Amino acid sequence: MEFGLKSEKLNVVIPSIGNLDKNRFYGLGPGFVSTFTTYYCNAQHLFVLKIEEDQCVLKFYLKSICVNSIIGKPR
């Protein structure tokens, strides 16, 4: 099942909600994936957020090339 949210400036797609867990990443668990597109550094980028077993990863893509990534750990 896929979920989505669209506004004038942002299009968010959630292709997988993963395993829900109240104690991790604000209730989201491993397997959660969300994508959205927006302008960053004067160019439209695709952002992909994935929650894995022990971290969450946000990757920034420009024309199918990953140009940056941020890795977070649960609190």
Please report, in tens digits, the pLDDT of each residue of the chain (75 residues total): 444 445 556 555 565 556 666 555 566 778 888 888 888 889 989 999 888 888 888 899 999 999 999 888 766
The residues spanned by each domain of the chain are 3-72
Alpha carbon 61 to its chain's center: 12
pLDDT at 57: 87
Evaluate if pTM is beyond 0.75. Answer: no
CB within 8 Å of 45: residues ≥ 6 apart: 37, 38, 39, 60, 61, 62, 67
